[in-house]
Amino acid sequence: MVTTNDTARSDVPKPTVRPVNPRFSSGPCAKPPSFTLESLADAPLGRSHRAGVGKAKLAEAIDLTRDILGVPDNYRIGIVPASDTGAFEMAMWSLLGARPAEMVAWESFGAGWVTDVVKQLKIDAQVHTADYGQIVDMTALNYDNDVCFTWNGTTSGVRMPNGDMIPADRAGLTLCDATSAAFAQDLPWDRLDVTTFSWQKVMGGEAAHGMLILSPRAVERLESYIPAWPMPKIFRLTKGGKLIEGIFRGETINTPSMLAVEDYLHALKWGQTVGGLTGLQARADANAQMIFDFCDANNWIANLAEDPATRSNTSVCLKFTDDRITDGAAFAKAVAKRLESEDVALDIGAYRDAPAGLRIWCGATVETADIKAMLPWLAWAFHTEIKT
């Protein structure tokens, strides 16, 4: 526990105002501000998900997702098992192998997909990587191949600035892990053949299920190509060479959690009350901007993203730049611990594989007032720690 002696050690006085909600984790992320356990009262618990009431809830989750994200009518949206990982793995294992692949990674999760394709599926692949803080030149890829990439690198805080580098007219498919981008950043549907995300990120839902969004070209591939490897039931999207359409109406492959579905519905309806996609994006932008301004005003901290156009507005990753710091990892850990023990910022240490620093989630469910209240604490923790 931090004691009042810390104020004496720091030139910066200990702040007095705490964030109302100190949850800045990058996943599971803060629940929507409107959330209480009562919000889940209408969940059809103890009922079959195949009963009318269950099916209606699942279909509503798909419909609201389409409405808010502006997914084109001819794209399929499915609820699948195992969160974003399940959705992205299912897509890679079902679609890849028909053409060579271009695997793109600029942080840990993208690197995980590279491993899958190169070491597990053993597909002929070109691997393109960039260091933490940087992004791969997306214009340098061969879009006649299938391209797998992450829209927002959650562990580096580097995002695609837009989709202009992806040709609308391409022979290969694009598979995009958009889990920390969906609902916070524009996703250009005509450039994306597969898009995946989980409920636990920008909408503050639960992590049980993944969302799989398929373009007509992705469906065409599914119906015309059979991978050389066996496909477990949990990944199977086709039967007899035809798409299993039911999956995209809410007839899930296996049993979903109706409690998690109800929670997602609550989050989506809250999203509508704050202005839908535009409102959700504006909330993330305002949160992130407050941290960008803080970095501009303090010469001891900086955004890990080198190019401002690629700075994430959800997973904002920060590095300490003060020359007096000798052990960066220990220093960042100590600052995060200090903030946690004051109950002003929980779970903000950088991801285990990422450079030492902090990661502050700025997605839509975080209140800007809470970021504002937290930042003076960060300054106080830094100045206190640097003197210890």
Residues at the site binding ligand PLP, with contacts judged by CB under 6 A: 27, 83-85, 109, 150, 154, 177, 179-180, 198, 200, 207
- Provide the minimum distance between the beta carbon of 108 and ligand PLP in the complex, in angstroms, as a whole number: 8
- Provide the minimum distance between the beta carbon of 306 and ligand PLP in the complex, in angstroms, as a whole number: 19
- Provide the minimum distance between the beta carbon of 274 and ligand PLP in the complex, in angstroms, as a whole number: 23
- Provide the minimum distance between the beta carbon of 177 and ligand PLP in the complex, in angstroms, as a whole number: 5
Compute the distance between CA of residue 23 and CA of residue 221 in angstroms, rounded to an integer. 41
> Which is nearer to ligand PLP, 99 or 359 (by Cβ)?
359
> Which is nearer to ligand PLP, 90 or 141 (by Cβ)?
90
> Which is nearer to ligand PLP, 119 or 324 (by Cβ)?
119
- Provide the minimum distance between the beta carbon of 207 and ligand PLP in the complex, in angstroms, as a whole number: 5
> Which is nearer to ligand PLP, 80 or 243 (by Cβ)?
80
- Provide the minimum distance between the beta carbon of 84 and ligand PLP in the complex, in angstroms, as a whole number: 4
- Provide the minimum distance between the beta carbon of 364 and ligand PLP in the complex, in angstroms, as a whole number: 16
> Which is nearer to ligand PLP, 10 or 150 (by Cβ)?
150
> Which is nearer to ligand PLP, 202 or 378 (by Cβ)?
202
> Which is nearer to ligand PLP, 85 or 145 (by Cβ)?
85
- As a three-state string, the secondary structure of 141-208 is CCCCCEEEEECEECCCCEECCCCCCCCCCCCCCEEEECCCCCCCCCCCHHHCCEEEEECCCCCCCCCC
> Which is nearer to ligand PLP, 179 or 310 (by Cβ)?
179
Give the residue among 283, 282, 298 at the shortest CA–CA distance from 376.
Answer: 298
- As a three-state string, the secondary structure of the chain is CCCCHHHHHCCCCCCCCCCCCCECCCCCCCCCCCCCHHHHCCCCCCCCCCCHHHHHHHHHHHHHHHHHHCCCCCCEEEEEECHHHHHHHHHHHHHCCCCCEEEEECCHHHHHHHHHHHHHCCCCEEEEECCCCCCCCHHHCCCCCEEEEECEECCCCEECCCCCCCCCCCCCCEEEECCCCCCCCCCCHHHCCEEEEECCCCCCCCCCEEEEEECHHHHHHHHHCCCCCCCCHHHCCEECCEECHHHHHCCCCCCCCHHHHHHHHHHHHHHHHCCHHHHHHHHHHHHHHHHHHHHHHCCCEEECCCCHHHECCCEEEEEECCCCCCCHHHHHHHHHHHHHHCCCCECCECCCCCCCCEEEECCCCCCHHHHHHHHHHHHHHHHHHHCC
- Provide the minimum distance between the beta carbon of 226 and ligand PLP in the complex, in angstroms, as a whole number: 26
> Which is nearer to ligand PLP, 10 or 315 (by Cβ)?
315
- Provide the minimum distance between the beta carbon of 383 and ligand PLP in the complex, in angstroms, as a whole number: 31
